[in-house]
């Protein structure tokens, strides 16, 4: 691959991509959702190990916590009753640790839902789906839960990381809906999702692959939109 050609050819596209992001519109629950009882909220990895402490915690993810909590409150007040938390809960010898540092071991503090969510008065309505990989439904009961809640029509996805677990949750919901010919809408507010940043020099110093947060955040948002996910500015 000629990276010089790639860089030159994508300058225009990156400008287009930023313009697309800037044009995103707000999603109004009142105006867009006909039946609150068919609204579900799905959170990816809103746990201590990504939001506050541990080797994979990021201040960029910490910053979305208030927005995510606000969406939980807004949707519950609107009438939503289904809240699903897809959360890393790794076995001690998880295969994933060949690619990422050890994190969120089952039963550890890192694997716990953030207190900002568990302290909500309706937290007893949360369904926690533990996962041992980036994928939300492999090796657990998530698919069964979706089968039992097939009446859902509007699915709001929040959490982290935009290009990893959030992407996996949103794409799973979208592709499942496509495969089963379900009339469901997957809604992803960009102010309630985020990913980590690892600059090139920092990555070199620790022997890891670089991960420019802004680039991956923006490109994966766009990729989800390309696949039929309703990417929006915010949910109000």
- Asked whether 189 and 155 are in contact (CB, 8 A), the reply is no
Give the DSSP letter of residue 54: S
143-192 pLDDT, tens digit each: 999 999 999 999 999 999 999 999 999 999 999 999 999 999 999 999 99
Q: pLDDT at residue 44 above 60?
A: yes
- Asked whether 127 and 145 are in contact (CB, 8 A), the reply is yes
Which pLDDT belongs to residue 94? 95
Better-scored residue on pLDDT, 5 or 187: 187
- Asked whether 233 and 192 are in contact (CB, 8 A), the reply is no
62-84 pLDDT, tens digit each: 999 999 999 999 999 999 999 99
Helices (H), the chain: 3-22, 29-32, 48-51, 59-62, 65-78, 115-118, 142-148, 165-179, 200-206, 213-226
Mean pLDDT of 86-92: 96
Q: Hey, where are the domains in the chain?
A: 33-232
Task: Please give the class, per CATH, of domain 33-232.
Answer: alpha beta
49-65 pLDDT, tens digit each: 999 999 999 999 999 99
Which pLDDT belongs to residue 10? 80
Which pLDDT belongs to residue 98? 92
Which pLDDT belongs to residue 3? 61
Query: What is the value of pTM for the model shown?
Result: 0.96
User: Which of 102, 71, 93, 90 is CA-nearest to residue 235?
Assistant: 71
Give the DSSP letter of residue 228: T
96-155 pLDDT, tens digit each: 999 998 999 999 999 999 999 999 999 999 999 999 999 999 999 999 999 999 999 999
**Range in 6-15, 30-39, 194-203 with the lowest mean pLDDT:** 6-15
Which pLDDT belongs to residue 4? 64
Mean pLDDT of the chain: 96
């Amino acid at each position: 691959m000629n990276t010089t050609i790639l860089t030159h050819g994508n300058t225009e596209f990156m400008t287009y991509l930023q313009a697309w992001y800037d044009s995103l519109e707000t999603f109004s629950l009142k105006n867009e959702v006909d039946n609150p009882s068919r609204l579900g909220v799905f959170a990816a990895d809103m746990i201590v190990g990504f939001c506050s402490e541990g080797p994979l915690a990021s201040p960029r993810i910490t910053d979305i916590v208030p927005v995510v909590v606000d969406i939980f409150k807004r949707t519950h007040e609107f009438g939503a009753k289904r809240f699903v938390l897809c959360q890393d809960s790794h076995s001690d010898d998880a295969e994933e640790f060949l690619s990422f540092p050890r994190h969120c071991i089952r039963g550890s503090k890192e694997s716990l839902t953030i207190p900002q969510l568990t302290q909500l008065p309706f937290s007893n309505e949360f369904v926690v789906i533990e996962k041992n990989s980036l994928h939300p439904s492999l090796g657990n009961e998530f698919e069964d839960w979706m089968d039992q809640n097939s009446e859902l029509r509007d699915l709001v996805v929040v959490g982290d990381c935009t290009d990893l677990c959030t992407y996996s949750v949103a794409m799973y919901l979208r592709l499942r809906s496509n495969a089963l010919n379900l009339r469901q809408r997957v809604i992803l507010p960009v102010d309630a999702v985020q990913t980590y940043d690892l600059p090139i020099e920092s990555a070199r110093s620790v022997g890891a692959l670089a991960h420019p947060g802004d680039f991956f955040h923006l490109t994966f948002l766009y990729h989800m939109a390309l696949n039929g996910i309703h990417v929006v500015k915010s949910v109000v």
